[in-house]
Amino acid sequence: MAKIINHQTTQVNFTLIPRKPINVDVDTTKLKAKLSDIFENSKTILTQFPEIVILFDPNNQISINILRDQNRIIIANNTVTPYSGRPLESFFKFVKEAVDIIDNNEIKDYGFNILSNFDLENGTMDSGDFVKENYIKKEKFDTLGTLKSAGLKVVYEKGYC
């Protein structure tokens, strides 16, 4: 098997789907204050459109995307770090606090995603082929042609894990 090198995490995010439609008046002031409480040197930029609210902290690479038309909230840590050893305690704490602030009602569904990239030692194989050959049944994909990229996705349902 080819050896993985340069494995980096490019984003960790939570996607939250409330049971009821997202309230038009999400309290962005409280979200900004909570970012400042949890993260050092927090500086928040607010961008607001009728159906989208984006809060971004460039100093800590934290973003909150409130997508009213899709009824979902994506809270992301966009810091590029080595895959292992990434500190997530403050990020998880902020997600919990943000849910309490946004909480127009209970969260119906959520997803936790880790986006990463890697190289293979000596260019022995394309990373998409590596995932195909080592993590999925390649016979199912042979008819599709050349696989350019691939990933693994785990979906959890609240209350069942």
Query: Among 106, 127, 130, 140, which Cα is nearest to 18's?
Result: 106
pLDDT digits (tens, 9 = 90+) for 59-80: 999 999 999 889 899 999 998 8
Q: What is the pLDDT of residue 152?
A: 57
Q: What is the pTM of this model?
A: 0.72
Q: Which of 21-25, 50-54, 123-127 has the lowest mean pLDDT?
A: 123-127
Is residue 16 within 8 A of residue 107, CB to CB? The reply is: yes
Condensed to tens digits (0 to 9), the pLDDT of residues 79-129 reads 888 877 777 889 889 988 888 887 655 777 777 888 877 777 776 666 666
4: left (phi over 0), alpha (psi -120 to 50) or beta: beta
Q: What is the percent of the chain where pLDDT is above 90?
A: 24
Domains of the chain (ranges, CATH numbers): 4-124 (3.60.90), 125-161 (no CATH)
CB neighbours (10 Å) of residue 32? Answer: 18
DSSP secondary structure, 2-49, as one string: PPEEEEEEEEEEEEEEESSPPPS---HHHHHHHHHHHSTT---EEEE-
Task: Please state, in angstroms and rounded to a whole number, the distance separating the CA atoms of residues 89 and 102.
Answer: 20
Most confident of 47-61, 109-123, 133-147: 47-61
Q: Give the Cα separation of 52 and 54 in Å (integer).
A: 7
pLDDT at 55 over 70: yes
